Structure formats: C-alpha cells, structure tokens
C-alpha cells in the first residue's frame, strides 16, 4: 500500500514553516522576489521551491474568508507526467513502489526543453519546473530520503497545527474522512479533492475554485492510450 | 503567562486581543486548535484580519488604541448581567475591600493629580484599614465605598452606544464577544486571554492588561486550567531576560533597582518590603530581604559582608524620578550627554520610535560597541543613506556573535519553563556567545583596574565573576548554594551544597542565589532544565500538565495562583479539569501556591500570595495611572473628543520632548489615517537576523502597507503600487497591499481609515525599504515607558518615484 499525505487546509495558519523547511531540507537557494501586494512569495513554484503556500481572500456574506493552500506535487496514483517522460527518456520519472512516490531523476536532464514542457503541460496541477541552468526537471520528492529512513517528510515534521499529515494511504484516507465529517458541521461546502486519483489528499473548506487556478483538477487521469492519441508518439519508444 | 502553552487547550473560550498569535507565536495555534476541536470559541479582536482571524470562529475589527473602551464595556456587561463567579470574586479578589475616603474619580481624572509633575499621589487610592491595620471588607458587597460598588460606578459609562462609537465595533459584535466570553463565569468553565505587544505598546499598555485581569478575576478565570492572563512572549527570550533583569528598573527576580534614596541595605529593605497585618495573608514579598541578600552574596562572594550590606554599598544607584529606559536614553544621547555604549542583540536604529532622531542621536557618540550576528542599521549607522561617513566621529567596534544553535544554555518560554538547549555546532570563525564576550570584556577591565588602580576600583575588584563563561556554572549559581555550614530546623547543610529552593534562602549571607525565582532549577537533584520526561499522573494528564518536563518557576508550579481554582474546602471548581485538590491531608495535582490547608480550615492563606493583601486586584492602587483602567485616546488620535470624559489622552503618559519629537494634533486633517505597526511570521523583530536568512527574505521580501480597498480608491492607489507614508516625524516608502482584510471604521459617525505596517525592513538589506519607525512617536506608558508603536497618525499618497524599494 502506498503512502499518502493528508493536507487539512481547515487547520492551516499559513505560517509557511513547510515552505521554508522544504527549501532548507533540499538545500535550495533563495530566489529573488518582490512584494507585489500579496504575502504569497514566490508567486509560484520554481525549481528551488517544491512547496509554496497560496493565499486567496474572499468576502462571503460580509465575512472575510482567507484561504490558504500549501501547494505541492500530488503524487498521482497514475502519474501522467511519467507517461509522457517515458516516451522520451526511460527512467527520467520513476515510481518508488513501496511509497508510491513519483520521483524525477537526474535523467530528466536528457529531456529537451520541449519535452520538459510537455511533461509540465501534462501535469493537471502545473507542478514540474525545469532548472534552466542544468536542465533538471524537479518537483516535490516526498522527501524520499527521509521517508526511506523512517522519518516524516520535512513539511509534515515542521507543521505545528495538524495541517500536514503523512502515513499509510488507508490511515490517511480514514483521517481525511473523519476530518471532513467534522469540518462539514461548520463548513458545509467542505470537500476532499480527487481522493481516488491522488496520494496527496486535500481537504478544502470552500469551493475548490476559490483557491487558485490549479486547485481544481483540470483533467481526469489520462490513460496511456489517450496519451498516445494525444501526442502520437511511437509505441516502441514507450515500451522499448 | 500565568498558565502555559499546553494549557490553552483546556479553555472553553479564547479571547485573542492585542495579539496576532497565529503569525507571531505560530506554535500557540497547535493548542488553540486543540481547544477549538473540543468546542471552544476562538475570538480575535484586532484592527486587522490576520492569519489568526482566519482560524478563529470570528474576527472583530476595532480601532487601534480603544481596547480599554472595549474591555470596559465587557466589565459592565459582566456586572450588569451578574455573570461573575460570585464566591471567587468575593473571597479571592478585593471586590469586598473598602477604599479610603481620599479616593475619587471625576471626569477622567483620579484623585491626587499633580499637573506640574504629571503624576498621581497614589496614597490617595489606599484601602481603608481597621483598628488592626487590616483592610476593611464588606462581603455583602453593598457598601458604596467597596471596590465592587466603585467598579460598577466607574464602568456605568461604558455602555454599548458609547463603546461602539469610539471603537468602531458594531453593537452586535460587541454583544457577541461579551456574551460568549462572559459565559466562562460558570465555575466549571474557563476562558483564556492571549495578548502580546498589541496591548503593551500603547500609552495605556499596562491598563489594557489590567482590564483583562479584572475580567478574568470577575469570571474566576485566574489559577484555573484553560484560564489566566497569558502574555505571549517570543524567541528573543523575553520571559527569561525580563526575569533576569534586562530592564533598567529591576534586578533579577523583580527586585527594585537600588536608588540613591536608599543609601544602605537596611533602607532598601525597609522601603521595598511590604508588611501585612492580616495573619491570613502570606504577603510573599515580605521575603524580599532574603532574596536581595542572596543575590548580593552571589555577586560579591566573600567581599559581600554584613558591614557593606553584602555589597549593596558597592552598587551604583539610580536617581529617584529619573527614567533610564530606551526613549529617554536616546533623548540624552540626542542632547549629547552620552559618550559611548554597548548594544547587544538589539537594533535601536530600527526598533526604537522616531528612528530618524535615534539615528541622529548616535552621531553624537564617541564610541560604540555592537555585539551582533550580522551588520545592522545600528552597527552601520555611520554610513546610512543621506549622511557623509567622514563627518561621523563615532568609532564603532563590531563584535561577531554566534548564532543560537552555536551555543548552549537556558531559555525561558512564555509558560516560565526553564529549558536547556544544547549547542548543535561550534561557532563560525571568531564569533562567540554574547555571555562569553561580556565575561571577557569584564575580565580585561578587572585586570586593568588591578594593575592601574582607579578612582573607585572596589566594585570591579569585588565582583565574584569567573574569567571564563560557563552556562552550567551560571545555572547552578542562579539556583544558589550555601556559603557556609548551616543548620536549618532539623536539617544540616554543608558549605557549597545546592539550595533546594527559594523557601530556604536567608537574609544573613549564608545563601546565594542569582535569581530567587529560579531557585529550585538546579538543586540537589541537579539541572532540572535538562528534563524531558513526559510522565504524569491521571489528574495531570487530564489538563496536559507535564511536571517532569523541564522545570518552571516558581518551584515548578505550572499554573500560578492555582489555589484560586478550588473552593473554600479545597474542592476544584472545575472537577473535570482540576489543577489542584485537597485530599484531606495534602494538595495533589500541580504544586500549590503554598502548602497551607484550604481556607475553610481557618489555617489557610489567601491564594494571591504575591499581593500584600493576598487578593486578586480588581482595584489596583499600585499603578501610575489609576486603580481602574480608563479609556484615553492614544497620544496621536483621529478624534477630538471621546464619550467617557473630557480628558482626551492619559494625563500621566510619558512624552519625550525635543525639536524632532513632534506630535500631530488630535483630529489633525494633515494626518487623518491611523497607523498600527507589527511584526510578522517570517521576520524576527527588527529583521537584522532574518533579512540575512535568504529563504525568509524570499518569503517576505519588502516593506508593505496593508490598507482597505476604500482607502486605496480614495488615494488612487492600486495593489502593488509604491506609496509614501508621512507622519509628523518622517516619511517611509512601502508597497501597497490592498485588501479586504482591512476595513474602514465608523468612529463617532465618521469614516476613519486604518493602515498597518511591519517594522522589520531596513536599509542595510538593499531595496527592501527602511525603518517604519521613522513614523512612530516617542510616547510611552507611564508604568513601563513601553512606546506607543501601535497607534499614531499618518497620511499616504501614491509615490512618483522611490529610492528605498527595488521595483524591478
């Protein structure tokens, strides 16, 4: 059974401990940012930011709703990005079977810019980023080094409010259902996002469209057949 | 905190006011959310809708500087609706005390005011005493001069209409908060108040907190699990440094600083040791001479003799009536009266109000020593924008300090937990712990005095401070030891034995302790700050009390004044979350505030042992600005009058006067907008540290000003535009953050806009903006002189060009 994250945004205070800890654990350099009228910085994921917290504010019935969404790779149960990458460079994207982690390897450097863009465009959540200097395509790696050593991913370890949770998929699904039932009492529109398709399960309190562009999944998981049809790549490249 | 972080989870109602807990004390929300999970109502009352508000049940915006009006309205609500906990209030607070005939309150002014000195004669506020010298009481609470009746009269004026008009809070919102919170007056319910600098940084800061104390005492919320007055203190070790006297007016353990009016130790003790004639009052400060003697012996060792007051004679003394705190210090520097100084771990050119004046004052120094991890606006003041370094005479020495993970030692958290933290890595380069720097500097001075002599070498040469810095040795000394063999009752202690705790400290020089409050942290059982044992009994488990995890002052008592959590028989008011209980022979649960049996036995002592009279102070005659909190406007206010009295602002607030300390007029049309300033999650205090931590600067890169859409529209400003803010003292550039989280308020029928800014950005980090405190005024609370950072007046306009902010 795979591992899953459960991200309970009803508990998130947007302290961004996860965002900063992620950078620190991965040894990522800081990217230049500017204040543009929002706390959200960097504005989106970069090759050096596998995780950022989104801030969105709405006025609903005279009440401010400030919505926080710690964004990261969803570690899809069937990862469309892998299917695309496999067509070009075998082993650029691999699945770690014991955890279900979708991992980008050094071989992503062998993808051309166009191929890397295809990988990115295939992701329903706009997650992968290419480092222009090295050609490496990167994203959240589930802190696989930590997890294999029996530790929690650093974003989960850092979280003090119970927003970030990690464990066996069954346990996370159970926790997610329990929390949803509880949160629905005060937030009737609360829901879990795409539970069946993802190993990162988000609980949101408001309609998913109110968070950010990619909080709402744009496409169903594509089958290999659909992918082939879409990109028209030779079969032998895929399986050879 | 009277309580501690974990205890927040026991609350039925949480009032967060004067604090943005989720952003500035993120871990607190672990416990706030646990309380919420169990059904607690979380309320956030604050000018700005913040990340705290986002996770609260509701947010109530109010105008900055009107907290006492808001809380006064709540006191009135509790009294009108008899929502108080009657037995607790009558027995444990001074509600029944009769106030002496000299006390009066008329149109915003208390009795005893001297307009010349801008001070009150507090003797006029004393309690009436009976023939034995014990305060008179009327437990029926009917006497018109009893505290309860005077309080009722005082807050009669704080009705919903008036409170709403001045705070900008709707009457519905007022009632919602009052009703919810007052429900914790039920004996088995508790409510906690979480506050921070949003309350202290006002010209009425102490009285903001007093108003919460009154509410908590009326509702029986002090001493109980899930209750208390909880000052949220931060990573800068505010709790520990206050306990150990970083402030000028106290010595370690809250002992008053020696003054020239007390020339010897006897005079000092006489003036500072309260006397109670009431046999039921423990009057704990009656022990002060023991703590002072032990401190002095700790400082001066064998050189501290009975003849020289254990070294008291060697200490410098302050002059009575002189304020030595920050704002006055910089005023003296501005006047050229200070030649040089040491700045360790603080960044006054960034963090003290009216930064332009502070920076200019620094130019008058001959020399300056700064201990810091990074270059800051203070260490580098001599080449700040707009000055010619060649014209600054100051010689600056920058001593590199190591980072927190590079040194071992103790830190005290808000819950008074005294915890050892271990060094993780060796310091980089030549950097050192600041403790080491101080010891080395002192030792060099000592050697010089030894060699060359001097006008008065005795205090330097007599000081018993080793030439090397050892935090373990200091922790041991803070706890204290015996200076000679001592027989105490049936026990014998050897010279050099560690003292068990402060109850055994003596005033005869036979014991030392560098801080009596911490005595017990390192007794015969060793260094208890190292403990990480989570074991607890069933009663402790119910309330999340971990008596063997670290150690907490005083004597490992986790909830202060816990004997107020039980009735006169010693039975807990809230049996499901009992803090202590009398089992017929002794107290079980937490360490009680003294082991005396319950009050009903006739052998008990009142639970508020630190008060001379032993009772919680609804009426507090010790403060500089009155025994009851009264609403006064900030020194800079958008209104010309308020509905409670003709006294617009505090008659005793501290106001610094100089040509650069200009204040806007009340209702000044040039500066119509209220500014409040604050910290943020991502940066630490003045930012000197975190602006040099790249991932944090990435997350919060530049100075911003949060404002409403309405104000932005009025000023033609769009989200992300650069704007210029101006007060009577200075100008600041910032990026506009236009948000629905700030709302215009209706104050006395007029729209008042409020803006908010962080203060952590400074010029030594290029392009991020510069000190927000160039806008704030040199005005302070009369008790603490804490500056009024939280409310002043500004105006703003869209910037044509900017020089402080990188815009590309």
Residues 516-545 of chain B with CB under 8 A from chain A are: none
Model pLDDT for residues B274-313, shown as the tens digit of each residue: 999 999 999 999 999 999 999 999 999 999 999 999 999 9
Question: What pLDDT score does B245 carry?
Answer: 87
| Cβ–Cβ contact B20 with A under 8 A | no
Question: How far is Cα B782 from Cα B798, in angstroms, rounded to an integer?
Answer: 37
Residue B54 and residue A14: Cβ atoms within 8 Å? yes
B648-703 pLDDT, tens digit each: 999 999 999 999 999 999 999 999 999 999 999 999 999 999 999 999 999 999 99
pLDDT at residue B93, rounded to an integer = 98
Across the interface, whether the CB atoms of B720 and A39 are under 8 A apart is answered no
Query: Quick one: what percent of chain B has pLDDT higher than 70?
Result: 100
- Show residues of chain B in contact with A20, CB under 8 Å: 682, 695-696, 699
Task: Collect all residues with Cβ–Cβ distance below 8 Å to B441 and sequence separation of at least 6.
Answer: none
Which residue of A lies nearest to B60 if distances are taken between CA atoms? Answer: A63
**pLDDT of the residue at B661:** 98
User: What is the pLDDT at residue A212?
Assistant: 87
Q: What angle do CA B609, B612, B617 make, to 5 degrees?
A: 80
**Residue A66 touches partner B, C-beta closer than 8 Å:** yes
Instruction: With beta carbons under 8 A apart, name residues in chain A contacting B721.
Output: 37
Q: Cβ B33–A162 below 8 Å, yes or no? A: yes
CB contacts < 8 A, A to B, total: 105
Whether chain A has a CB inside 8 Å of the CB on B798: the answer is: no
From A102's Cα to the closest Cα of chain B, the distance in A is 26
| pLDDT of the residue at A229 | 53
SS3 content of chain A, % helix, strand, coil (to 5): 35, 20, 45
Residue A226: its pLDDT value, please? 54
pLDDT (0 to 100) of residue A222: 52
Chain A interface test: which of B24, B697, B698 (most A C-beta within 10 Å): B698
Report yes or no: A185 at the B interface, CB cutoff 8 Å.
no
pLDDT digits (tens, 9 = 90+) for B88-140: 999 999 999 999 999 999 999 999 999 999 999 999 999 999 999 999 999 99
DSSP string, B109-127: EETTEETTTTEE-GGGGPB
Chain B, 727 to 746: residues with Cβ < 8 Å from chain A are 735-741
Chain A residues with CB inside 8 Å of B738's CB?
Answer: 37
Is the pLDDT confidence value at B1 over 50?
yes
The closest CB to that of A57, out of B694, B741, B807, belongs to B741
Contacts of A23 in chain B (CB under 8 A): 695, 698
What pLDDT, on the 0 to 100 scale, is given for residue B369?
Answer: 98
**Could you give the angle at which helices B355-362 and B326-334 cross, rounded to 10 degrees?**
50
Can you tell me the distance from the alpha carbon of B172 to that of B712, in angstroms, rounded to the nearest whole number? 28
pLDDT for residue B530: 98
Give contacts of B682 with chain A, Cβ < 8 Å. 16, 20
| Alpha-helical segments (H) within chain A | 17-26, 80-88, 113-122, 144-148, 154-158, 169-184, 224-231, 235-239
C-alpha neighbours within 13 Å on the C-beta side of residue B158: 31
Is the pLDDT score of A218 beyond 80?
Answer: no
At B473, give phi and psi (nearest 5°).
-60, -40
pLDDT digits (tens, 9 = 90+) for A34-64: 999 999 999 999 999 999 999 999 999 999 9
Average pLDDT, chain B: 97
Provide, as residue numbers in chain B, all residues whose Cβ is less than 8 Å from the Cβ of A182.
37
Q: What is the pLDDT of residue B311?
A: 98
For the stretch B345-389, pLDDT in tens is 899 999 999 999 999 999 999 999 999 999 999 999 999 999 999
Tens-place pLDDT, residues A149-165: 999 999 999 999 999 99
Q: What is the pLDDT of residue A231?
A: 52
Distance separating alpha carbons of residues B68 and B647, to the nearest angstrom:
14
Say yes or no to pLDDT of B314 above 70: yes
Above 80 in pLDDT, residue B517? Answer: yes
| CA–CA dist B606, B773 (Å, integer) | 45
Asked whether residue A238 carries a pLDDT value surpassing 90, the answer given is no
Inter-chain CB proximity A30 and B735 less than 8 Å: no
Residues of chain A in contact with residue B719, where contact means CB-CB under 8 angstroms, are: 36-38
On chain A, the residues whose CB falls within 8 A of the CB of B58 are: 63
- Chain centroid to CA B248: 14
- Which residues from A are below 8 Å from B741, CB to CB? 57, 64, 66
| Higher-confidence position of A217 and B262 | B262
Q: Torsion over CA of A149, A150, A152 and A154, rounded to 10 degrees?
A: -20
Average pLDDT over residues B694-721: 98
| Average pLDDT of the segment spanning B788-795 | 98
Q: Is A178 on the interface with B (CB under 8 A)?
A: no
Q: Which among B580, B622, B621, B620 is positioned nearest to B604, based on CA atoms?
A: B580
Report the relative pairing of strands B551-552 and B526-527 from DSSP bridges: unpaired
Q: What per-residue confidence (pLDDT) applies to B3?
A: 98
pLDDT value of residue B66: 98
Which chain B residue lies closest to A62 (C-alpha atoms)?
B740
Q: CA nearest A38 in B: which residue?
A: B737
Q: Least CA distance to A48: which residue of chain B?
A: B695
The CA-based angle A60-A63-A68, given to 5 degrees, is 80
Q: Which residues of A touch B760 (CB under 8 A)?
A: none
Is the Cβ pair B54, A31 closer than 8 Å?
no
The whole-number pLDDT of residue B237 equals: 80
Give how far A159 is from chain B: nearest CA, Å. Answer: 9
Collect all residues of chain A within an 8 Å Cβ-Cβ radius of residue B46.
none
Does the pTM surpass 0.80? The reply is: yes
Q: With a CB-CB cutoff of 8 Å, which residues 127-146 of chain A face chain B?
A: none
8 A C-beta contact, residue B177 and residue B74: yes
Which stretches within B20-170 are classed as H helix?
21-24, 28-37, 51-54, 67-80, 86-92, 147-155, 160-167
- The verdict on a CB contact (< 8 Å) between B697 and A24 is no
Q: In terms of Cα–Cα distance, which of B289, B523, B286, B541 is closest to B418?
A: B523
Q: Which of B696, B700, B737 sits opposite A37 (nearest CB)?
A: B737
| pLDDT computed for residue A237 by the predictor | 41
Contact B22, B36 (CB under 8 A): no
| Cβ–Cβ gap A13/B682 under 8 Å | no
Q: How far apart are CA B171 and CA A25, in angstroms?
A: 50
Q: For position B238, what pLDDT does the model report?
A: 87
* Spatial distance between the Cα atoms of B259 and B256, rounded to a whole number of angstroms: 9
CB-based contact, B489 to chain A, within 8 Å: no
Residue B721 has pLDDT above 50, yes or no: yes
Which one of B23, B33, B52 has the shortest CB-CB distance to A11? B33
CA angle, residues B146, B184, A178, in degrees to nearest 5: 170
pLDDT class for B516, splitting at 50, 70, 90? very high
pLDDT at A217 over 90: no
Residues of B in contact with A34 (CB under 8 A): 701-702, 806-807
Alpha-carbon gap: A168 to the closest alpha carbon of chain B (Å): 23
CA contacts within 13 A on the Cβ side of B85: 30
What would the two tokens of residue B205 be?
């800061």
Q: Please answer yes or no on whether A36 and B681 come within 8 Å at the CB atom.
A: no
Residues of A within 8 A of B23 (CB-CB) are 13, 15
The three-state secondary structure class of B275 is coil
A172/A192 Cα distance (integer angstroms) = 12
Q: Is A165 on the interface with B (CB under 8 A)?
A: no
Residue B27 forms contact with A (CB below 8 Å): yes
């Amino acid at each position: 059974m795979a591992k899953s994250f459960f991200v309970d945004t009803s508990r998130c205070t947007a302290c961004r401990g996860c965002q900063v800890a992620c950078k620190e654990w991965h040894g990522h350099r800081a990217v230049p940012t500017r204040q543009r009228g929002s706390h959200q910085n960097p504005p989106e994921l970069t090759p050096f930011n596998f995780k950022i917290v989104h801030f969105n504010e709405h006025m609903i019935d005279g009440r401010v709703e400030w919505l926080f969404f710690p964004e990261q790779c969803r570690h899809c149960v069937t990862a469309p990005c892998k299917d695309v990458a496999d067509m070009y460079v075998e082993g650029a994207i691999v699945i770690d079977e014991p955890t279900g982690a979708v991992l980008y390897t050094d071989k992503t450097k062998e993808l051309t810019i166009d191929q890397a863009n295809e990988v990115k465009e295939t992701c329903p959540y706009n997650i992968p980023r290419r480092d222009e200097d090295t050609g490496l395509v990167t994203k959240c790696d589930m802190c696989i080094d930590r997890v294999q050593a029996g530790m929690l991913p650093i974003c989960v370890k850092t979280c003090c409010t119970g927003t970030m949770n990690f464990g066996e998929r069954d346990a996370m699904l159970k926790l997610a259902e329990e929390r949803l039932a509880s949160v629905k009492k005060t937030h009737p529109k609360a829901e879990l996002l795409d539970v069946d398709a993802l190993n990162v399960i988000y609980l949101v309190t408001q309609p998913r469209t109110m968070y950010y562009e990619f909080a709402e999944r744009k496409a169903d998981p594509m089958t290999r057949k659909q992918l082939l049809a879409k990109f028209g790549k030779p079969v032998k490249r895929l399986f050879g | 905190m009277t309580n501690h972080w974990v205890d927040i989870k026991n609350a039925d109602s949480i009032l967060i006011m004067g604090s943005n807990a989720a952003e500035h004390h993120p871990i607190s929300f672990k416990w706030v959310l646990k309380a919420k999970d169990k059904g607690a109502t979380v309320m956030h009352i604050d000018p700005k809708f913040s990340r705290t508000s986002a996770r609260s049940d509701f947010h109530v915006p109010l105008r900055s500087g009107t907290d006492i009006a808001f809380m006064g309205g709540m006191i009135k609500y509790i009294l009108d609706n008899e929502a108080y906990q009657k037995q607790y209030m009558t027995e444990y607070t001074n509600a029944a005390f009769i106030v002496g005939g000299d006390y009066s309150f008329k149109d915003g002014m208390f009795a005893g005011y001297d307009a010349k000195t801008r001070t009150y004669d507090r003797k006029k506020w004393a309690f009436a005493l009976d023939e034995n010298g014990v305060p008179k009481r009327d437990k029926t609470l009917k006497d018109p001069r009893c505290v309860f009746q005077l309080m009722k009269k005082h807050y009669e004026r704080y009705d919903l209409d008036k409170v709403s008009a001045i705070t900008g809070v709707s009457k519905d919102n007022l009632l919602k908060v009052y009703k919810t919170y007052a429900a914790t007056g039920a004996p088995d319910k508790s409510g906690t108040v979480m506050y921070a600098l949003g309350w202290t940084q006002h010209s009425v800061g102490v009285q903001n907190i007093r108003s919460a104390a009154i509410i908590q005492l009326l509702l029986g919320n002090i001493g109980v699990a899930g209750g208390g007055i909880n000052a949220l203190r931060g990573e800068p070790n505010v709790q520990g440094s206050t306990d150990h006297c970083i402030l000028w007016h106290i010595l370690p353990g809250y002992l008053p600083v020696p003054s020239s009016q007390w020339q010897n130790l006897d005079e000092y003790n006489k003036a500072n040791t309260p006397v109670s004639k009431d046999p039921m009052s423990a009057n704990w400060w009656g022990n002060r001479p023991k703590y002072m003697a032990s401190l002095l012996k700790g400082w001066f060792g064998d050189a501290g003799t009975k003849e020289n007051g254990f070294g008291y004679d060697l200490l410098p003394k302050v002059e009575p009536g002189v304020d030595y705190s920050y704002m006055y210090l910089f005023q003296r520097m501005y006047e050229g009266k200070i030649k040089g100084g040491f700045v360790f771990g603080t960044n006054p050119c960034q963090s003290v109000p009216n930064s332009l004046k502070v920076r200019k004052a620094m130019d008058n120094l001959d020399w300056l020593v700064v201990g810091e991890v990074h270059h800051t606006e203070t260490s580098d003041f001599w080449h700040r924008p707009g000055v010619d370094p060649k014209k600054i005479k100051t010689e600056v020495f920058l001593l590199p300090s190591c980072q927190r993970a590079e040194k071992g030692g103790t830190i005290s958290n808000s819950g008074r937990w005294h915890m050892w933290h271990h060094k993780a890595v060796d310091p980089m380069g030549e950097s050192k712990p600041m403790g080491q720097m101080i010891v080395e500097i002192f030792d060099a001075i000592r050697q010089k005095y030894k060699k060359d002599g001097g006008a008065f070498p005795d205090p330097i040469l007599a000081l018993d401070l080793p030439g090397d810095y050892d935090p373990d040795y200091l922790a041991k000394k803070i706890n204290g030891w015996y200076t000679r063999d001592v027989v105490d009752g049936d026990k014998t202690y050897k010279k050099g034995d560690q003292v068990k705790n402060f109850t055994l400290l003596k005033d005869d020089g036979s014991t030392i302790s560098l801080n009596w409050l911490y005595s017990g942290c390192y007794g015969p059982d060793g260094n208890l700050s190292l403990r990480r044992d989570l074991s607890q009994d069933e009663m402790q488990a119910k309330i999340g009390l971990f008596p063997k995890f670290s150690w907490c002052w005083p004597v490992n008592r986790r909830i202060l004044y816990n004997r107020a959590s039980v009735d006169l028989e010693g039975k807990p008011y809230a049996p499901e979350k009992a803090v202590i209980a009398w089992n017929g022979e002794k107290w079980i649960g937490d360490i009680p505030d003294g082991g005396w049996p319950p009050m009903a036995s006739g052998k008990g002592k009142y639970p508020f042992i630190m008060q001379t009279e032993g009772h919680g102070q609804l009426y507090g005659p010790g403060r500089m600005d009155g025994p009851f909190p009264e609403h006064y406007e900030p020194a800079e206010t958008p209104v010309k009058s308020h509905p409670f009295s003709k006294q617009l602002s505090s008659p005793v607030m501290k106001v610094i006067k100089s040509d650069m300390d200009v204040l806007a007029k009340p209702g000044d049309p040039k500066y119509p907008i209220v500014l409040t300033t604050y910290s943020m999650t991502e940066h630490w205090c003045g930012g000197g540290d975190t602006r040099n931590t790249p991932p944090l600067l990435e997350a919060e890169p530049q100075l911003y000003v949060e404002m409403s859409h309405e104000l932005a529209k009025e000023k033609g400003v769009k989200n992300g535009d650069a704007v210029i803010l101006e007060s009577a003292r200075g100008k600041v550039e910032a990026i506009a953050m236009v948000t629905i989280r700030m709302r215009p308020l209706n104050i006395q029928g007029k729209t008042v806009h409020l803006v908010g800014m962080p203060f952590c950005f400074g010029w030594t980090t290029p392009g991020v903006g510069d000190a927000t405190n160039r806008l704030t005024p040199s005005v302070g609370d009369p008790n603490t002189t804490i500056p009024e950072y939280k409310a002043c007046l500004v105006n703003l306009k869209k910037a044509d060009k900017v020089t402080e902010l990188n815009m590309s």
